[in-house]
Amino acid sequence: MSVPLRPPALLTAPLLVLALLLTGCASAGSTAPVGAPGQGAAGPESDAASVLRSSPSAEAETPSPAEIPGLGPSTRAEIPEDARQAFVVTGEDEDANRSSAVLYSREDPAEGWVAVAGPWDAHNGMEGWTDHHVAGDLRSPKGVYSLTDAGGRLPDPGALLPYDEHPRFAVDGEGFYGEPLEGSFDYVVAINYNRTEGVTPLDRTRPLGLERGGGIWIHVDHGGPTQGCVSIPEERMEELLRTLDPELDPVIVMGDAETLGR
């Protein structure tokens, strides 16, 4: 009787190695196929990579549009959404007649407001500021007002706003400190407080009534306080006239620093 031959012992080890090689990385603890979602060729994504992917700090943050410095939420809310130029006149305090003026622009709403001119020295009403201006109180009205019309005694210096050159803008006399007023209205921009928009600054229509005053302008500074207007140096008036653009719906934001900061 013949006896079946047993495989040589030397063949057993190579076969075992071959079987292990064929199983590859699919060891007893791995059941997911290579290339499954969340895994690469080397297996599951590391814990560190997973944390970084889900961490809020790893995501790029979009910066908020820049706001005008010194303006609080109540004042900012008064600026119309379509206004893209703002001439900000900030008084030293409610009873002061000296102030500072800066022109801001926001041609790109995503970037917000950017200072494009100033700060410039300015004067306001002799007695300071008020939130209820009346004729003769010698205070400038606080608030946000549109700017639509300009004019002056001198020829148009290149204004973008409609400009009315007229001899009636001539003025003489003295200011509160004895300074000459001549030339104060060589250039003006009408502030739309108690006036009709779209007409010459010389128009005397007063929608709120004569008792609430009017004729509140930005004009050439004469070296002293005003009766309620805002005044800046002549060369700054020329610059302002060449910059205020009706296409950008300009406004003036005016008042004492404490009020504007609310």
* Domain housing 105: 83-260
Residue 201 lies in a domain: yes
- Does residue 33 register a pLDDT over 50? no
CATH number of domain containing 132? 2.40.440.10
pLDDT, tens digit, 9 for 90 and up, residues 136-156:
999 999 999 999 999 999 999
Q: Is residue 36 part of a domain?
A: no
Give me the mean pLDDT over the 48-70 stretch: 65
* Contact in structure between 240 and 250 (CB atoms under 8 Å): no
Within a domain: 119: yes
pLDDT band at 236 (very low <50, low <70, confident <90, very high): very high
- Long-range pairs of 159-164 with CB within 8 A, sequence gap ≥ 24: 159/241, 159/242, 159/244, 160/241, 160/242, 160/243, 160/244, 160/245, 160/246, 161/189, 161/241, 161/244, 161/246, 162/198, 162/246, 163/241, 164/200, 164/201, 164/202
> Quick one: pLDDT band at residue 62, thresholds 50, 70, 90?
low
Q: How many domains does the chain have?
A: 1
pLDDT band at 28 (very low <50, low <70, confident <90, very high): very low
pTM confidence score:
0.77
Whether 56 maps to a domain, the answer reads no
pLDDT digits (tens, 9 = 90+) for 212-223: 999 999 999 999
Residue 39, pLDDT above cutoff 70: no
Residue 222 falls inside a structural domain: yes
Tell whether 75 is covered by a domain. Answer: no
Residue 213 belongs to a domain: yes
Q: Give the tens place of pLDDT for each residue, 72-117.
A: 999 999 999 999 999 999 999 999 999 999 999 998 888 999 999 9
Q: Is residue 76 part of a domain?
A: no
